[in-house]
Amino acid sequence: MGNVIAYSLFTDFDINLFKSGKHYRLYEKLGSHCVVLDGQNGTYFAVWAPSAESVSVIGDFNYWNEEEHQLNVRWDSSGIWEGFIPYVGKGSTYKYKINSKITPENIEKADPFARRCEHPPKTASIVWEDDYHWDDEEWLKNRGEKNNLKAPYSVYEVHLTSWKKKVEENRSLSYFELAEDLVQYVKKMNFTHVEFMPIMEFPYDPSWGYQITGYFAPTSRLGYPEEFKYLVDKFHENGIGVILDWVPSHFPEDAHGLGKFDGSCLYEHTDLKKGYHPDWKSLIFNYERNEVRAFLISNALFWLDQYHIDGLRVDAVASMIYLDYSRDEGEWDPNVFGGNENLEAISFVKELNETVYLNYPDVQTIAEESTAFPMVSKPTSIGGLGFGMKWMMGWMHDTLDYFSKDTIYRKFHQNEITFSLAYVFTENFMLPLSHDEVVYGKNSIIGRMPGDEWQRFANLRVLYGYMFTHPGTKLLFMGNEIAQYEEWDFQSSLDWNLLEFFPHINFQNYISDLNLLYKENKALHEIPFSQEGFEWISYDDNENSVMSYYRKGDNEKDKLIVICNFSTNALINYRIGVYKEGILEEIFNSDASKYGGSNVVNEDPIETEQVLFHNQTFSFITSLPPLGISVYKYQ
């Protein structure tokens, strides 16, 4: 068939695994791979297109002529077309020209397994391989200590193309530039992890990366694949883990993408009730098809393997596991048991998590799941979905709603701010203040705060102080840490000019210190998902809008006392019951003058008294700052 030489990277065992949906390293076989055959350099191409009549590789090496390089279909009914093309090498652009048995239309598709794609709006794939030398052996060797569920886990969520821009050139920072600026910034702010909104190639900027066409290629907007590896490497060099947003829930209908790939519904479900997402106008993967499951799980492992990624935050899990997600009556069909659960999607999610943790036990998968679906972060062996953590959306909504209320009304809503502690230990929860909360007219976080400017910043400090002392891991979206007033705009840089003003500089320093408090005190991170790590002192002082609690680690000496005052009144001579006698030291106070507060702090050690209070044998008297949080520790 033209200048294509019969050749294969697949063994019979590979094909059997592929058909059964158990081949989890498909990126080593499908796609384009530079090889040497009989002393001749060239590229091996392989693509899955079972409904094709013929498949050609068209590219800059054959003037995009479909007659020149037609692939051979395998004899084993796998639907894989393959072949070796001499002289084609790294940097060659190409697509697959597919003549379908189903439709008369000529179909041109990008390679689903391409390691690099053209810069949008161009849509071709690029033959690519690199010999990047990693320098993160030390990180990978000790990653289990930094990445486990007892370690501090404070995540800075970043949209790479809008974090910071070169103003004079009106462009985003490249991967290389981010490896200097962003890495040092995250380190300075004392975050333990960074999370990138999707960096897989995507055609449409307003999708923020959530509509993916190049699942195996980091976006070319910011540089080459090896330059993205360098960025990850730099984070690891500085002791910071890297999490990727990953989207196995849906994909766009762009002509060069996965939709109707070979004229048939190959990757998407054939039934629109299961295969089309009405909210996002996108196609939904067919979790019933073995080869599609293998594609997705291979993609998850690809980023962990080839890019040394430390965690995957799985987007829109609820949309996958519910048949009636965002659908009215009559727009969905119940499962075989009459329920609304998508049994195949649930099965896929379990298989995904089992495979990830089997191969990479020191990474984390994190579910963005917005419902009360049970046991999302419990092991599959006991019926759970198998994620390491789950976003605590209920906490996020209740907290932002509470803090948006005028302080004089908060005493009537004390149960809203304490309610999360009634269910916080049902899952391994991550507390997120994410990008979704600062767009589409919701206002910025500080924009929600009531009162004058001083009260807004004080509210913001106590909100984050409460967040970082609440059980669970943490996530902040970029801009939250400098109290950005404007909503996030994906086309613009963050408002770094705000740091010319003391309230914003002080707040940035506050977040850095809060991360340090969280990292350095085991009581705040050692038992984040169990009742043993938390104990109420008082939750019912709604008249003063005060609540107090213990945070506990494995060792009793690490125990902390946390007091939150959500009112604008400084409360002098406020008594708190404690479990033992001793001398207490205030180790953190959000009202300190260095943070822009009114400096109602307790600099001197405080001795407990044998006075029964809060059902405790001992108690102490202290001063509570207005709109402030205080943290105490026994000397």
Element of type H or E holding 572: strand 571-578
In a domain, 72, yes or no: yes
Name the residue with tokens 């949008």: 120
Amino acid found at 164: K
- Whether 566 has a pLDDT exceeding 50, the answer reads yes
The average pLDDT across 15-44 equals 97
- Spatial CA neighbour of 254 closest among 231, 277, 283: 283
CA atoms within 13 A on the CB side of 158: 24
The average pLDDT across 259-281 equals 95
In a domain, 412, yes or no: no
Q: What is the CATH number of the domain that holds 566?
A: 2.60.40.1180
* DSSP 8-state class, residue 593: G
Catalytic sites, residue numbers: 315, 368
* DSSP 8-state class, residue 190: T
The average pLDDT across 402-412 equals 96
Domain boundary among 92, 126, 160: 126
Q: How confident is the model at residue 169 (pLDDT cuts 50, 70, 90)?
A: confident
In a domain, 89, yes or no: yes
Domain boundary among 63, 95, 126: 126
Mean of the per-residue pLDDT values of the chain: 96
- pLDDT confidence of residue 231: 98
Task: Characterize 24-36 residue by residue with b for buried, 16 or more Cβ atoms within 10 angstroms of its Cβ, and e for exposed.
Answer: bebbebbbbbeee
- Whether 167 has a pLDDT exceeding 90, the answer reads no
Phi-psi region of 358 (alpha: psi -120 to 50; beta: other; left: phi over 0): alpha
Write the CA distances from 632 to 139, 418, 606, integer angstroms. Answer: 33, 20, 10
Name the residue with tokens 């395998």: 74
Structural contact between residues 248 and 293, judged by C-beta atoms closer than 8 angstroms: no
- pLDDT confidence of residue 40: 95
Q: What is the CATH number of the domain that holds 86?
A: 2.60.40.10
Range of the structural domain that residue 580 is part of: 531-634
> 580 burial class (0-12, 13-18, 19+ CB within 10 angstroms)?
exposed
Q: Kindly list the strands in the beta sheet with 72-73, ordered across the sheet, starting from the edge strand earlier in the chain.
A: 31-37, 40-48, 80-86, 72-73
- pLDDT confidence of residue 51: 97
Q: What is the pLDDT of residues 576-625, one digit of tens each?
A: 999 999 999 999 999 999 999 999 999 999 999 999 999 999 999 999 99
Amino acid found at 293: R
Task: Characterize 485-508 residue by residue with b for buried, 16 or more Cβ atoms within 10 angstroms of its Cβ, and e for exposed.
Answer: eeebeeeebbbeebeeeebbebbb
Q: What is the pLDDT of residues 455-471, one digit of tens each?
A: 999 999 999 999 999 99
Name the residue with tokens 């000529």: 106
Domain boundary among 126, 149, 179: 126
Beta strands (DSSP E) in 71-139 are: 72-73, 80-86, 93-100, 106-109, 116-117, 125-126
Q: How confident is the model at residue 2 (pLDDT cuts 50, 70, 90)?
A: low
Split into its structural domains, the chain has a count of: 2
- Whether 1 has a pLDDT exceeding 80, the answer reads no
In a domain, 536, yes or no: yes
pTM score, two decimals? 0.96
Structural contact between residues 275 and 341, judged by C-beta atoms closer than 8 angstroms: no
Query: What's the CA angle centered on 489, arms 446 and 457, to 5 degrees?
Result: 10
In a domain, 599, yes or no: yes
Q: What is the pLDDT of residues 323-363, one digit of tens each?
A: 999 999 999 999 999 999 999 999 999 999 999 999 999 99
In a domain, 490, yes or no: no
- Whether 156 has a pLDDT exceeding 60, the answer reads yes
Q: What is the pLDDT of residues 491-525, one digit of tens each?
A: 999 999 999 999 999 999 999 999 999 999 999 99
In a domain, 92, yes or no: yes
In a domain, 605, yes or no: yes
